[in-house]
């Protein structure tokens, strides 16, 4: 092996880090003593992401800017790392984006670090769907209900708690086949176009639905399109939503544990039949639930 090959071997890992290239779980860097890892290793538009940050010194707090959002971090004593959940919106164009970390040391000094990430394009399918006409051509009364729902949802989405409430892995809310993936471009009755912003599970009416993780119930009521709907706040700006239920088993304001029963599946609202639509929302952005369910979390 010549001197040039040896030099290349020494330089390559650093070069890969400088480009923010994901390696397995996500890269580690030693520049300025910061180590940043992330999951999933490949980021696409629509993907949730968990950042795991080991700063060079002990910090009393850590936050970050990412794609014009604030990311809140919580310290995990077992790994001595800071964990923060974030996401990449469906509308984000492929490219390189910076995670701008800002920490406060125990002495009250500010330290910062920038890690760059590549966002690759995701490929999502297209389908045609038929639903009752009232969902594609609502009457004035139905439009009024839709308008009211919109303000209810806006209120609910404003009440999120930045403190972390999730613990450990997110679990599937039901044990069933997936009938439609996140990101599908759908045309309803040949007219209304929309992007499928959740994950559909093929479950018959009355199947037990469980909370994907621990959190606080923000909403537990019927809505026009969503049907009987439960929204859980897991902290750090992350919510999970469960739609079209036949029955709701929790109340707004209630704390739920991971795996706790929150309702029974159904086909209420704009649904072609009984199924569970689960959605993941982070700071106003819908993310791919299937990816969230694969993340290894403390």
Binding site for Zn ion (CB under 5 A): 198, 200, 277
CB of 196 to Zn ion, least distance (A): 6
How would you class 87 by CB atoms within 10 Å of its CB: exposed for 0-12, middle for 13-18, buried for 19 or more? buried
**Gap between the Cα atoms of 83 and 55, Å rounded:** 11
Sheet holding 35-39, edge to edge: 35-39, 48-54, 81-87, 74-76
Place of tokens 């709907």: 229
Nearer to Zn ion by Cβ, of 183 and 235: the residue is 183
Nearer to Zn ion by Cβ, of 198 and 289: the residue is 198
CB of 16 to Zn ion, least distance (A): 38
CB of 20 to Zn ion, least distance (A): 33
CB of 208 to Zn ion, least distance (A): 19
Helices H, strands E: what count in the chain?
Answer: 3, 23
Nearer to Zn ion by Cβ, of 131 and 297: the residue is 131
Q: What angle do CA 167, 171, 173 make, to 5 degrees?
A: 125
Q: Which residues contact 111 (CB under 8 A, 6 or more apart)?
A: 55, 56, 57, 59, 102, 103, 104, 105
Q: Which residue is nearest to Zn ion (CB)?
A: 277
CB of 180 to Zn ion, least distance (A): 6
Nearer to Zn ion by Cβ, of 65 and 186: the residue is 186
Nearer to Zn ion by Cβ, of 111 and 293: the residue is 293
């Amino acid at each position: 092996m010549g001197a040039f090959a040896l030099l290349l071997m020494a330089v390559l890992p650093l070069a890969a880090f400088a480009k923010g290239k994901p390696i397995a779980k996500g890269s580690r860097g030693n520049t300025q003593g910061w180590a940043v890892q992330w999951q999933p290793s490949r980021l696409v538009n629509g993907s949730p992401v968990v950042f795991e940050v080991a700063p060079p010194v002990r910090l009393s707090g850590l936050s970050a800017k990412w794609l014009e959002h604030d990311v809140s971090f919580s310290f995990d004593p077992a790994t001595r790392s800071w964990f923060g959940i974030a996401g990449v919106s469906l509308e984000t164009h492929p490219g390189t984006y910076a995670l701008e970390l800002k920490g406060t040391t125990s002495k009250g000094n500010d330290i910062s670090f920038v890690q760059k990430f590549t966002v690759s394009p995701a490929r999502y399918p297209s389908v045609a769907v038929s639903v009752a006409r009232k969902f594609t051509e609502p009457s004035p009364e139905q439009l009024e209900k839709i308008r009211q729902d919109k303000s209810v949802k806006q209120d609910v989405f404003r009440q999120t708690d930045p403190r972390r409430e999730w613990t450990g892995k997110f679990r599937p809310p039901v044990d069933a086949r997936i009938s439609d993936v996140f990101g599908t471009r759908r045309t309803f009755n040949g007219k209304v176009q929309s992007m499928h912003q959740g994950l559909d599970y093929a479950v018959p009416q009355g199947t037990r639905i469980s909370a994907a993780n621990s959190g606080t119930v923000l909403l537990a009521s019927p809505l026009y399109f969503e049907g009987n709907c439960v929204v859980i706040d897991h902290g750090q700006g992350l919510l999970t939503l469960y739609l079209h239920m036949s029955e709701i088993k929790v109340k707004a304001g209630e704390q739920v544990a991971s795996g706790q029963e929150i309702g029974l599946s159904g086909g209420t609202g704009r649904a072609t039949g009984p199924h569970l639509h689960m959605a993941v929302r982070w700071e106003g952005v819908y993310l791919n639930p299937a990816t969230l369910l694969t993340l290894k979390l403390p």
